Amino acid sequence: MKRLWTTFIVLLAISVAGSTASAAAAPYFGYNYSSTGEAVPAPLPYLPVKTIYGGDVSAGAFNNPEDVFVSADRHIYVADTGNNRIVILNGDWQLVRIIDSFRREGKRDAFNGPKGVFVDKDGHLYVADTNHARVVELNERDEFVRLIGPPKSDVIRKDFKFVPTKLALDHAKRLFVISQGVFDGIVEFDAKGGFTGFFGKNPVRFTAAELFWKQISTEAQRQQMALFVPIEFNNLAIDGEQFIYATATENSLSMEQVKRLNPSGIDVLRQDGPMPVMGDLRVTKMGSFRGSSTMTSITVDDNGVYLALDSKRGRIFAYDHDGNLLFQFGQIGDRAGTFRAPVEVEWLGRNVVVLDRALNRLTLFKPTRYGSLLLDAAASYYHGKEEEAARLWGEVNKLNNNLELAHVGIGRSHLEQGEYETAMASFKLGDSRTYYSKAFEGYRKTFLWNNFTYLFVGLAALAAIIAASRRWMPRTATDDYGPVRTAFVTTVRPFKMFWELKYEGKGKLWMALSIVGLAGFLFVLKAFYSGYIVSEPEIDEMNSLKELAFIVIPFFVWCIANWFLTTLMDGEGKFREIVIASGYAMMPLLIVYVPQLALSWVITRQEFAFYALLETVGMLWFVGLLFAATMTVHQYTPFKTVITMILTVIVIGIIIFLALLLFSLIQQLAIFASTVYQELTLWL
């Protein structure tokens, strides 16, 4: 028994030591983003396992390396820019050879600051010889093949400079080169090295204010303004379908930093995820790492998973083919697994290699079980293996219940198998309204098909009941309306009814306030109990009293502002009459909110326009009745009524400003009184 306990304690110690070692190997914490953009904890998908310096592979120290490329035979090519050479390593991180020169036309030629390297399927090496303004092609025996120099064409501007930094070759032998300082797009050469044009030019971005000032400025002022130029590409990669993934320099539209260009140069990057492909969502506006992510490198595997390197914060973001964020890892720092100036990221099988220019080293990362499961699940879905993907997403969910994408992956499998109700439940857990809508469409079609007879009989019976009730209902005099019916008739005969509300005493204050209260109540119901497809993502943070106040407070502020204003503009309406008329004018909201709430439970995402149309109709109807109410109560002309309503909105803005100012003053006085009280307490 004693021996058994000893063995158990030893095994426990080993287990704890192992877990501690794993935690110690992680130089940062893992996180992902929810559908609402909140950062949530997540297991680390990759851990650093090896750091490679030039001296470690008998190649001498690297000097400001700018590029790394992994070939089909798993050889690693490093563009050692500062040493004017290409260093080639094998998959075991052993030196294969160093290329620092080549023979051309019987003479020795050398590189000068090479910043880009690429190897095609035939083993030919392409080097962006940056400072020599050329691309050098060598064969698999490192023999010179050709040089591709600056492009020649009548369409190229005279001040064009060819400064190649990154390059890639497709299966048709078309060469794509990124040239520093070129805003026209990626430079494209054909298989013979001839210039064919610029590829994937980014559109010019400017604001309306910038365009306005540009138009009214003098010629001298225009020359001092920033030019409206497209953003510049800085890196590229080619996937198995021969589409080009490219990253662009940081701009105000940071979500456009990553593109997937088809053969025509059109961006076809899929962004079906809950957040755009832009790296970090929550960023600071101050400090060394303020602003959005700066994507400077990209690589893609055979399963549609691409890695984008954020050089600003030293993070690698992984996205699947649909643009869903799978994971992120990395950080700026000096410890193993962190970076100071990362410039390139590359797949090495399932492993990831990151090149750090400042630290002159490569870092090898290997996936954890969590990372491997994510990659396996994404690959299975990409290749159409839905059942396998669902099983893998289930395993991912066990490791990270915060990852909504896992629920979406499980739901997609159920959707493909026609299990719509189960799929809807999974998509709701994953907070994916797009996929939920697809599943609901299938569920609705199946439900209608299976219950068509019952629905038809029910609708026929309802129609018969309505017809019978209208026939046998006792008729009343045309103008003898009760309070409720008066409110409904007001919506279709506004000028006549508002006249009677004011001058014949048919308007009831309690009825007007009841309409306002019911409108607020239905507004709250819409906010909390609408169908999932149209509901707000932040529903958990919503407050029913705040939602109710969104209707009630603007109503009373409108009445007060309108009363203040019309007393100065010879308005005949009393405050009580303004409240009654404005309350009755809100009847369209009651009429629209009920069917809108019901419609939200039976529509798909593609039918959302009908839901929005009801909202628009209700608001326009309400504004029209408010116009009729204001005009009738105050006996204004139509033009004066419009002016009064506009001025009332302005007065409301002034009231809100004064209220906020008063609230701020009271808050400051409360803080001052609290401080004085604390000081007196300490002094006494």
Average pLDDT over residues 305-315: 94
| 348: three-class secondary structure by DSSP | strand
Best CA proximity match to 209, nearest among 252, 248, 256 = 252
379-426 confidence digits (pLDDT tens): 999 998 888 999 999 999 999 988 999 999 999 888 888 899 999 999
Question: Could you tell me the two tokens for 7?
Answer: 């063995």
Residue 583 and residue 594 in contact, taking contact as beta carbons nearer than 8 Å: no
596-614 confidence digits (pLDDT tens): 999 999 999 889 999 999 9
For residue 74, pLDDT beyond 90: yes
Best CA proximity match to 312, nearest among 232, 254, 244 = 254
For residue 255, pLDDT beyond 80: no
Question: Could you tell me the two tokens for 614?
Answer: 């009801």
Give the lowest-confidence range in 424-438, 513-527, 541-555. 541-555
Average pLDDT over residues 496-523: 88
pTM of structure: 0.80
Residue 215 has a pLDDT of 58
Average pLDDT over residues 295-304: 94
Average pLDDT over residues 274-295: 81
Q: How many CB atoms lie within 10 A of CB 596?
A: 22
618-646 confidence digits (pLDDT tens): 999 999 999 999 999 999 999 999 999 99
The confidence band for 149, taking pLDDT boundaries of 50, 70 and 90, is very high
Give the lowest-confidence range in 63-72, 88-97, 495-504, 634-643. 495-504
Mean pLDDT of all residues belonging to the chain: 86
For residue 206, pLDDT beyond 60: no
Residue 222 has a pLDDT of 53
Average pLDDT over residues 36-61: 92
Give the max Cα distance, the chain: 112
Average pLDDT over residues 258-269: 91
For residue 470, pLDDT beyond 70: no
For residue 8, pLDDT beyond 80: no
The confidence band for 310, taking pLDDT boundaries of 50, 70 and 90, is very high
The beta strands (E) that lie in 111-194 are given as 116-119, 125-129, 134-138, 144-148, 164-169, 175-179, 186-189
Residue 13 has a pLDDT of 36
The confidence band for 174, taking pLDDT boundaries of 50, 70 and 90, is very high
Residue 267 and residue 255 in contact, taking contact as beta carbons nearer than 8 Å: no
CA distance 159 to 137: 26
DSSP codes, 52-82: EEGGGGTS----S--EEEE-TT--EEEEEGG
- Contacts for 315 with CB less than 8 Å, ≥ 6 apart: 279, 280, 293, 309, 328, 329, 330, 331
CA distance 581 to 499: 10
Average pLDDT over residues 283-305: 85
CA distance 131 to 646: 64
For residue 7, pLDDT beyond 50: no
Task: Compare 511 and 9 and report the one with higher pLDDT.
Answer: 511
User: Tell me, what amino acid is at 635?
Assistant: Q
Best CA proximity match to 579, nearest among 639, 500, 532, 514 = 514
Residue 290 has a pLDDT of 77
Distances from the Cα of 77 to the Cα of 106, 122, 280, 355, angstroms:
26, 15, 30, 11
Instruction: Count the alpha carbons within 13 Å of 366 in the hemisphere toward its beta carbon.
Output: 6
The confidence band for 283, taking pLDDT boundaries of 50, 70 and 90, is confident
Residue 184 has a pLDDT of 84
Angle between helix 544-568 and helix 575-584 axes, rounded to 10 deg? 130
Rg for the chain, CA atoms, rounded: 34
183-205 confidence digits (pLDDT tens): 888 999 999 999 999 988 766 55
Question: Could you tell me the two tokens for 643?
Answer: 């002016």
Question: Which residue in this structure is represented by tokens 């629920």?
Answer: 407
Percent of the chain whose pLDDT exceeds 90: 55
Question: Could you tell me the two tokens for 494?
Answer: 């506004």
Distance of CA 533 to the CA centre of its chain: 18
Residue 543 has a pLDDT of 77
Question: Could you tell me the two tokens for 301?
Answer: 């595997």
The confidence band for 516, taking pLDDT boundaries of 50, 70 and 90, is very high
How do beta strands 67-70 and 46-53 pair?
A: unpaired
